[in-house]
Amino acid sequence: MKRHGNLWPQVIAFENLLMASRQAQRGKRFRANVLAFNYRLELELLRLQTELKNLTYQPGAYRTFRIRDPKPRMISAAPYRDRVVHHALCNVIVPLLDRTLIGDTYANRLGYGTHQALKKFTGWARHYRYCLQCDIQKYFPSIDHEILKAIIHQRIKCSETLWLIETIIDASNEQIPVIEYFPGDDLLTPVQRRRGLPIGNLTSQFFANLYLSPFDHFAKRQLKLTKYLRYVDDFAAFSNDRQVLAEARLVMEEQLATLRLKMHPIKSQLCETRYGVNFVGFRILPDRIRVRNDNLQRSRRRMKALQRQYAAGEIDLEPLTRRLQSWEAHLMHADTHRLRRKIFDRWVFVRNQESGVRSQERNTEDTKGVELEVDTYNSHEPF
């Protein structure tokens, strides 16, 4: 296995830091912290460069908040200058380490994504009788720091770059508590080992992909599951032999234990594809693709929120249109022609001269009962 060295000059190069600052501000350019940083851009980047050169850089405190969409999650936002460092690091290490991943892992990779994963999953679901579909329980909070660092050390030998990676990992804030025991543990092991990566970091997204890479290769090479794919912590395998998948699941659970991970006891299941299978927010059936019902409720809430924002003058017509078009494009990957007509005929955005904007809702047939699915890990849905 090739280990990459002499990466540090590329990481701390001023040109790389400048490019990282441009990447970090996409969609956030007019926020106060970004404007303050950009007001003294060269000085701020030189200061970051000096701290990195001297190995004195230390990440700042995270700002955390909780969401429930569709289930409770804790989101952590790093200070803006730290996000610049994350981009600078990923600009160098991601192109090198991404090639070590299997070709059928689709999350957070250039040229891959939700819809490519859906296309591959649908093709296999319609050619094979059985699907083993699994989900890892509390994935991000369960990622073990010691194991993650060992995986990275197998691929990178540049000491300064490793120092920065470990500094970012060690600065991870406290995540949702996960107390799980694995073979060889004593009573205190689960509380002694540091675990968890903050959802929201660019580095966390890539490290999460890298963490399961050994498991992916194990599934492909050792278990001979040629029809295997993964999207973050959701993975699936297909076969016409049910027994092959049933036996593979038991071995997979043992292999995941070496990474101190456990399968979700409810979401992991072996089923026949003819009855339909859920994946990245869609339900794949033999003759059509639907969108999940639980996402209909989220879409309604988001539409109402957009109406309120438009009414308060917090969002203009152009960004509003882009968001709606993005969501419609996502729905077009399923058989949703009538559903899209119902949704977009129902919601209207009207400006009011007196109060700014007044939203109206046409009295059309309710969409209750129509299958609208876009479940996702951290929302695959772009809307």
Mean pLDDT, the chain cut into blocks of 10 residues (383 residues total): 92 97 90 92 96 96 79 83 97 95 93 92 96 95 96 96 97 87 90 90 94 97 96 96 97 96 93 92 88 73 80 81 78 74 72 48 37 35 53
Instruction: Kindly provide the residue ranges of all beta strands, DSSP E only, lying in the chain, ordered along the sequence.
Output: 63-68, 72-77, 130-135, 228-231, 234-239, 269-272, 277-279, 282-284, 289-291, 347-352, 356-361
pLDDT for the residue 363? 38
Task: Judge contact between 79 and 60, C-beta under 8 A.
Answer: yes
In angstroms, what CA-CA distances link 346 with 138, 187, 326, 359?
Answer: 37, 57, 18, 11
When computed from its CA atoms, the radius of gyration of the chain, rounded to whole angstroms, is 23
Q: What contacts 34, CB < 8 A, 6 or more positions away?
A: 24, 25, 28, 80
pLDDT for the residue 369? 33
Strand partners, 64: 76
Its sign, for the CA torsion 301, 199, 268, 121, is positive
pLDDT for the residue 353? 55
pLDDT for the residue 351? 65
pLDDT for the residue 376? 32
Task: Judge contact between 282 and 290, C-beta under 8 A.
Answer: yes
Q: Any idea what DSSP says for residue 315?
A: S
pLDDT tens-digit series, residues 28-72 = 888 999 999 999 999 999 999 999 999 999 999 998 887 776 667
pLDDT for the residue 303? 78
pLDDT tens-digit series, residues 333-358 = 777 777 777 777 777 776 655 444 34
User: DSSP per residue over 196-252, as a string?
Assistant: ---BT-HHHHHHHHHHTHHHHHIIIIIS--SSEEEETTEEEEEES-HHHHHHHHHHH
Structure tokens at 277: 């299978």
pLDDT for the residue 306? 83
pLDDT for the residue 359? 42
